[in-house]
Amino acid sequence: MGPLRIENEVVTTRELLRMAKTLPGAWTGLKIAVLILIKNGWRPSELQETFGLSRQTMTRWVHEVNDAGIEAVVKTPPPGRPGQLTSEIKQQLIEDLDIGPREFGYSRKKWNAPTLVNHLKEHYGIEVKVRQARNYLKELGYRGKGNDISSLFNRQGNAEK
């Protein structure tokens, strides 16, 4: 019997990680899995490559459980007011971002924060500053080059060579 393989092209690491961020409790499950792997001797670089997590995130998780114990695994709500994007709007925005800004009448070839500011205002009635739009792009997987998930995948969700 050969190794297990996922052959469905729609099921990518990027899509699974995106789903983990949107499903209630899934990100906590991922965090638990990463902590188990660290506990069992996996190198952070391996986990960074596999899950697209930053070393800083994993370090923070380890320090949190070292300081507060197992209770630190469960995420506490962030301080401040809740975000403006509902899960429905986030899902629609993901679809919009996959289409591209030109399809919405913008002159840009690729999404950037100022273009997203305009798009959110025009299509969803949501007013945000450029910095928040940049955060939304990052949260939805649109990041600059570096050690993050976007450096592993292009917009079609295929692994880059």
pLDDT digits (tens, 9 = 90+) for 92-125: 998 999 888 999 999 998 999 999 999 999 999 9
Say if residues 33 and 51 touch (Cβ distance below 8 Å): no
Q: What range defines the domain where residue 55 resides?
A: 13-73
Q: How far is Cα 156 from Cα 25, in angstroms, rounded to an integer?
A: 26
36 within a domain of the structure (yes/no)? yes
How many folded domains does the chain comprise?
A: 2
* Judgement on whether residues 85 and 57 belong to the same structural domain of the protein: no
Where a domain ends, among 73, 91, 118? 73
Where a domain ends, among 31, 50, 73? 73
What is the secondary structure of 31-85 as a DSSP string? HHHHHHHHHTT--HHHHHHHH---HHHHHHHHHHHHHHGGGGGSPPPPSSSPPS-
Task: Give residues with Cβ within 8 angstroms of 62, minimum separation 6.
Answer: 35, 38
* Judgement on whether residues 160 and 102 belong to the same structural domain of the protein: yes
Query: If pLDDT is split at 50, 70 and 90, which confidence band does 32 have?
Result: very high
122 within a domain of the structure (yes/no)? yes
pLDDT digits (tens, 9 = 90+) for 46-101: 998 888 888 999 999 999 999 999 888 886 766 787 778 888 898 899 899 988 89
4 within a domain of the structure (yes/no)? no
Q: How far is Cα 68 from Cα 150, in angstroms, rounded to an integer?
A: 32
pLDDT of residue 130: 95
